[in-house]
Amino acid sequence: MKDFAYVSAPDVATAVRAITEPGAKFLGGGTNLVDLMRQNVERPDTVVDITRLPLDRVEELPDGRIRIGAMMRNSALAAHRLIRTRYPMLAQALLAGASGQLRNMATVGGNVLQRTRCPYFVDLAARCNKREPGSGCDAIGGFNRNAAIFGASESCVATHPSDMCVALAALDATIELESVRGVRRLPLVGFHALPGDAPQHETAIAADELITAIELPDLPVAARSRYRKVRDRASYAFALVSVAAALEVRDGVVTEARLALGGVASRPWRAHAAERALMGAPATEESFRRAADAELAGAVAQSQNAFKIELARRAVTATLRQLHLPGGAA
């Protein structure tokens, strides 16, 4: 890989100053960035190591919200009592990701910003609009079995691979960003972009911004939630389709529903249409399927991934069913 300068930032002020150097990149756990550097997809001049930043705690705020430091390791977050009890879908999503070793390294901030696993994206011999704008897209008409079914464009059909973000989308999390220019907060839903004709623009973060925290609202419905990941092997594989769901049922009627899908778009896909269909509906298999259908009406397949539409339909229905069954939240 290319030679680079290495800066280890002791505090946020140093970090956000260091990142203003041209060609600088933050280094979290490095599980994505270092791989991409080895593959020459990323070639930073300076690497700003942020793992020493004191942002590795989960705090409960006075108003009941939860604030997660961006340096928190994925495994530590999954094991945290508040997360396991109040937001089980998030703990499950984290544990469904990668492998134990990777989760011990991966940070929350890095997880949000991890790049797509589209195989052509990491092969410099392939055409890829995301890596090299205007070069074309080898996934279209090539291997696209795990490509997007929502929001893809003619220039890119890649998905965002994170499991954690799917739960965060369902939970209406907020991302806190800091730079030398100040602090701002953005909702996670909408933070990741659809490709349009500029798939190289992946998120709303600016080049000089640091993710400092993720905040979760106080959300009682989330205590009864579940993350279901469907993949090609039992562990250590990215989602073909995943579902984060929370469901509140009173007297057999759905009174609150949260639903997001993973592995289906360039962003964690908040399933608003399905949520609307569920609200006020009887909590039956029929309603669950109808909700899935409402969401998937807008799905579009590539040459190899039509099965993902049917798979998503079944995964949504099954997850809601399992949530609704007595003891099904486990």
Ligand X SMILES: Cc1cc2nc3c(=O)[nH]c(=O)nc-3n(C[C@H](O)[C@H](O)[C@H](O)COP(=O)(O)OP(=O)(O)OC[C@H]3O[C@@H](n4cnc5c(N)ncnc54)[C@H](O)[C@@H]3O)c2cc1C
- In terms of CB distance, is 98 or 259 closer to ligand X? 98
Report the DSSP beta bridge partners of residue 295: none
Residue 256 sits at φ, ψ, to 5 deg, of -155, 140
**In this chain, which stretch among 20-28, 190-198, 274-282, 283-291 interacts with ligand X, using CB under 6 A?**
20-28
Report the DSSP beta bridge partners of residue 260: 244, 270
Residues 6+ apart with CB under 8 A from 107: 28, 29, 51, 70, 71, 72, 73, 74
Strand 174-179 to strand 66-69: parallel, antiparallel, or no bridges (unpaired)?
A: unpaired
Structure tokens at 7: 């800066």
Per DSSP (E only), the strands in the chain are 5-8, 24-27, 46-49, 58-60, 66-69, 174-179, 182-187, 210-216, 225-230, 241-250, 253-262, 269-270
Candidates 23, 64, 141, 280: give the one binding another protein (CB under 8 A).
141
29 binds ligand X (CB under 6 A): yes
In the chain, how long is the greatest CA-to-CA distance? 63
- In terms of CB distance, is 35 or 256 closer to another protein? 35
Candidates 17, 65, 84, 117: give the one binding another protein (CB under 8 A).
117
Nearest residue to 46 via CA among 76, 70, 15: 15
- In terms of CB distance, is 52 or 117 closer to another protein? 117
30 binds ligand X (CB under 6 A): yes
Task: Give the containing element (helix H, strand E) for 44.
Answer: none
47 residue type, one letter: V
What is the nearest approach in angstroms of another protein to the Cβ of residue 2? 6
What is the nearest approach in angstroms of another protein to the Cβ of residue 304? 9
- Partner whose footprint covers residue 158, from another protein, ligand X, ligand SF4, none (CB < 5 to 8 Å by kind): ligand SF4
What is the nearest approach in angstroms of ligand SF4 to the Cβ of residue 128? 3
Candidates 15, 29, 128, 138: give the one binding another protein (CB under 8 A).
138
**In this chain, which stretch among 3-11, 25-33, 83-91, 291-299 interacts with ligand X, using CB under 6 A?**
25-33
Q: What are the residues binding another protein (CB under 8 A)?
A: 1-3, 38, 40, 99, 117, 119-120, 122-123, 125-126, 138, 141-143, 145, 230-237, 240, 307, 310-311, 314-315, 317-318, 322
Q: What are the residues binding ligand X (CB under 6 A)?
A: 25-33, 35, 50, 70, 74, 97-98, 102, 105-107, 109-111, 113-114, 161-164, 210-211, 238
